[in-house]
Amino acid sequence: MMYVTDEIWYYIFSYFEFSMLRDDWQRDYEGDKDGWQRHGQPALLALCLVNHQFRRIAQHLQYRSFAIDSAFDLTSGNKHLYVQLLRTVAENPTLAGKIRALKFSRAERRYDTIEEAEKVLEDLNVDLESALKYRLERCLTCSCATSLLLAHTPNVELIDCTIGDHMSPTPWMLSSILSSEHIVDFEDRRTEKHYKFLSEQAQFLLRHEQRKGDHQQPPTDVVRNLSVKHNPLPNLKEVRIKAKDVSKGFIPAWTIEPILLNPNLKILRTLGIDWYMEEEDSFKWPTHQSNLECLDLKETIAESDTLKTIMTRCPKLKSLSVDLANLYRRGDGDDDGDDEPIYDFVIDLTEFGGVLRKHGGNLEELSFSTFHHGDEYDENTMGGFGSLRELTKLRNLKAEYDNLLSEFEGNFYIERFSDVLPASIETLHLFNGRRTPPIFCGPEILNASHFVKVLLAEAETCTPNLRKVVVEWWGSVSLEEEFCERDWSRETIDDGWDVKFVKGNFEHEYHVEGYVMTLVILTKKKEDVVREDRG
Q: How far apart are CA 504 and CA 471, in angstroms?
A: 11
Contact 424, 461 (CB under 8 A): no
Task: Judge residue 348's burial from the number of C-beta atoms within 10 Å of its C-beta, 0-12 exposed, 13-18 middle, 19 or more buried.
Answer: middle
Q: How far apart are CA 384 and CA 517, in angstroms?
A: 25
- Report the 10 Å Cβ neighbour count for 355: 20
Q: Where are any strands of DSSP class E within 344-483?
A: 347-348, 365-369, 381-382, 396-400, 407-409, 412-413, 427-431, 468-476
Contact 423, 465 (CB under 8 A): yes
Which pTM was predicted?
0.80
SS3 state at 528: helix
Phi, psi (degrees; rounded to nearest 5) at 267: -130, 130
Contact 375, 403 (CB under 8 A): no
Q: Is the sign of the CA dihedral 389, 390, 392, 395 positive or negative?
A: negative
Domain ranges of the chain: 430-535
Contact 313, 289 (CB under 8 A): yes
Which residues are CB-contacts of 235 (< 8 A; sequence separation ≥ 6)? 154, 155, 156, 157, 264
Sequence length of the chain is 535
Q: Looking at residue 250, what DSSP letter applies?
A: P
Amino acid at 312: T
pLDDT profile of the chain (535 residues), mean per 10: 79 74 58 42 79 82 75 61 76 83 70 62 64 60 69 86 77 70 45 41 38 37 33 84 77 87 92 77 78 94 89 94 79 50 78 93 94 65 86 95 68 72 95 68 60 90 94 72 74 88 80 78 79 59
Q: Looking at residue 395, what DSSP letter applies?
A: -
Identify the pLDDT of residue 441: 46
SS3 state at 279: helix
